[in-house]
Amino acid sequence: APPAAAAPPVSADTERVLASPVARRLAEELGIDLRQVPGSGPGGRIIKENVEAFAAQRQAGGRPAPAAVPPAPAAAPAPPVTAPPVPPVSLPGAEPLGRMRKAIARAMSDAKPGVPHIYVTIEVLMDAAMALRAQLAASGVRISVNDLVVKAAAKALARVPAVNSSYSLTADGQPGRIQHQQINVSVAVALDDGLVAPVVRDADKKSIATISAEIRDMALRAREGKIKQQELEGATFQVSNLGMFDITEFVSIITVPQAASLAVGAVRQVPVVKDDQIVVGQVMHLTISADHRIIDGALAARYLKELKTLLEHPLHVLA
C-alpha cells in the first residue's frame, strides 16, 4: 500500500469548513482534508463520526481522490475601513495553547469573521423574579437566576421560533435557513483552561427544577472532566452568564451553527421609576448576539421583549 499522505496544510478554505472542534482535531491527527468529508450534523456540520467514517473508507480502499477545489477567486476590492486589520503576531516565548483552549480559539475564529453579528440589549426589572426565588428557597426549592433565565429563554424561543434557527446553504448551494423543532439551550460553564457549554435539551418543556438539576450535574461533571461529548452537541441557542462577576453587560460570540447567543449581566440595585416615584429596583441587562443573515434587529428585539415579559412576570416561567 502506498504511504499515507502528509497532513494537508491548514488553509483559509479549511478553516471555513463547518466542523466540530473534536472533528477538526481528529482530522488533523489523521491527515484528512475536511473539505473532502461530507457532514451529517446540523446544517451540514462535520462531526467526529463523519471523520471516522471517512478514515475507515480511506483505509479500506485507499485514499479517495481529493475533491477538486476550484481556484480561489480574485479578491474583491476591500471596502474602506477606519483602521487596517491586525495580523497575527509571533512573539518569542509564546507557549502552545492546551487542547481545549485551542478548540475554543478555532471555534471563535470560525464564528466571528464568518458570521455578521448584530447586538441588541434590554433592561429587565427583576424584583418579582427575585421575590419568587426567595419564596421557593423558603419552601426548600433552590434555583439560581441563571436557571430562571434558561427556562425563560427557552419559553421565549417557543413564542418567537424564528430565533431558534441556523443559517445553512440549501441543497443547491444557495443561502438558506433551518428552523429547529427542538429548543436545546447550551449553558456556558467556565473551566480552568477555557469553557464548555452543556446542552439542556427540550428546555421549553422541562420544569425549572429539572433544568436546575441538569445544569448543576453537567457543570460538575464538566469541571471533573467527565462530561460526555454528546452532552455538548446539538444546541440551538446559548446562554452565557457573567453576573457572578458583577459584570453589568457584555456581548457573546455566536457558536456556529447556532444563530443567537444570550449574554446575561448581574442583577443590580439601581434607582427606578415606579408610579411616578423614584425607588430602588433590581435590574438586569440582557444582550442578544444574533446572526444578521437570518435575524434582523426587529426580530432580535421582539425576542428580547418576550423574554423581558416572562422574567418580569415569573409565574409564567414556571407554568
For residue 31, give the CATH number of its domain.
4.10.320.10
C-alpha cell at 83: 483602521
In a domain, 43, yes or no: yes
In a domain, 219, yes or no: yes
Predicted pLDDT at 174: 83
Cβ atoms within 10 Å of 101's Cβ, excluding its own? 14
Above 80 in pLDDT, residue 308? yes
Q: What percent of the chain has pLDDT over 90?
A: 55
Predicted pLDDT at 111: 63
Task: For residue 224, give the CATH number of its domain.
Answer: 3.30.559.10
In a domain, 84, yes or no: no
Q: Are residues 170 and 298 in the same domain?
A: yes
Average pLDDT, integer, range 226-238: 95
Q: Are residues 23 and 120 in the same domain?
A: no
Q: Are residues 51 and 150 in the same domain?
A: no
Q: Give the domain-ending residue among 32, 49, 65.
A: 65
Predicted pLDDT at 61: 58
- Give whichever of 15-19, 206-210, 315-319 has the largest mean pLDDT: 206-210
Overall pTM surpassing 0.85 (yes/no):
no
**Contact in structure between 260 and 250 (CB atoms under 8 Å):** no
**Of 190, 180, 215, which is closest to residue 200 (Cα–Cα)?**
215
- For residue 9, give its domain range: 1-65
pLDDT digits (tens, 9 = 90+) for 250-306: 999 999 889 999 999 999 999 999 889 999 999 999 999 999 999 999 999 999 999
Q: Are residues 142 and 34 in the same domain?
A: no
Whole-number Cα distances in Å, 3 to 6, 37, 62: 9, 20, 10
d(CA 233, CA 219): 15
Predicted pLDDT at 280: 94
d(CA 298, CA 315): 26
Predicted pLDDT at 274: 87
Peptide bond into 257 cis (omega under 30): yes
Ranking 44-53, 175-184, 283-292 by mean pLDDT, the lowest is: 44-53
The count of structural domains within the chain is: 2
Ranking 4-8, 139-143, 220-224 by mean pLDDT, the lowest is: 4-8
Predicted pLDDT at 214: 97
Q: Give the domain-ending residue among 65, 80, 102.
A: 65
> Is 313 a residue of the active site?
no
Q: Which residues contact 2 (CB under 8 A, 6 or more apart)?
A: 62
Q: Are residues 278 and 148 in the same domain?
A: yes
Predicted pLDDT at 10: 47
d(CA 255, CA 258): 6
Considering the candidates 117, 180, 285, 292, report the single residue annotated as catalytic. 292
Compute the Cα dihedral for 216, 222, 225, 227 and give only its sign: positive
Predicted pLDDT at 77: 57
Q: Are residues 191 and 301 in the same domain?
A: yes
pLDDT digits (tens, 9 = 90+) for 71-116: 555 555 555 544 444 455 454 555 676 777 667 666 666 666 778 8
Above 60 in pLDDT, residue 160? yes
Q: Are residues 59 and 122 in the same domain?
A: no
In a domain, 88, yes or no: no
